[in-house]
């Protein structure tokens, strides 16, 4: 099932992304369409997420975009994106997507129903406001996301 989900995400990335040089497995968990991260940073984030998934089966995707289309609410867009990408195992509904909209200066953490019992909306907002955003204000995107991931992982075991 895990290979099917990763393959599906990878195929979606390849079909949606005109830059065919970004076709490694890390594109399935880190989809950086705004180039906030270097290749090395993407690899480190991917390794952290993949290692966590191997231990727990919980799936995380980091997705960056320029802006939210059609003035949608970012959490709504993140939830729809996570569903469309198939983040999480269907039977467990254990997917989580971190959406970063660079030009909107906004982000959201969308959780599957199986996750929201542990990572509630309140916890997700706290992680964003207290952990990630302070680093983003200094343009430390990798550090903010890494520490945010660590916070999510420590709460979601």
Residue 19, both tokens: 């830059």
- Give the pTM: 0.82
pLDDT tens for each residue of 6-42 = 333 333 333 333 333 333 333 479 999 999 999 999 9
Distance CA 57, CA 41 (A): 23
**Cα–chain-centroid distance for residue 83?**
12
Angle at 10 between CA 144 and CA 52, to 5 degrees: 45
**Which CATH code fits 2-155?**
3.10.310.50
Model confidence at 132: pLDDT above 70? yes
What are the sequence ranges of the domains in the chain? 2-155
Q: Which residue shows structure tokens 């996750």?
A: 115
DSSP conformational letter for 120: -
- The tokens for 6 are 């990763």
Q: Are 1 and 89 in contact (CB under 8 A)?
A: yes
């Amino acid at each position: 099932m895990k290979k099917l989900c990763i393959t599906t995400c990878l195929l979606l990335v390849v079909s949606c992304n005109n830059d065919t040089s970004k076709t490694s497995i890390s594109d399935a968990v880190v989809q950086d369409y705004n180039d906030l991260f270097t290749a090395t940073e993407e690899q480190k984030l991917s390794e952290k997420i993949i290692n966590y998934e191997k231990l727990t089966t919980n799936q995380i995707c980091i997705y960056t975009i320029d802006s939210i289309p059609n003035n949608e609410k970012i959490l709504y867009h993140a939830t729809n994106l996570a569903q469309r990408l198939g983040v999480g195992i269907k039977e467990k509904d254990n997917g989580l997507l971190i959406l970063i909209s660079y030009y909107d200066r906004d982000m959201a953490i969308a959780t599957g129903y199986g996750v929201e019992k542990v990572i509630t909306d309140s916890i997700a907002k706290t992680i964003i406001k207290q952990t990630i955003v302070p680093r983003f204000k200094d343009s430390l995107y990798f550090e903010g996301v890494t520490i945010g991931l660590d916070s999510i992982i420590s709460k979601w075991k």
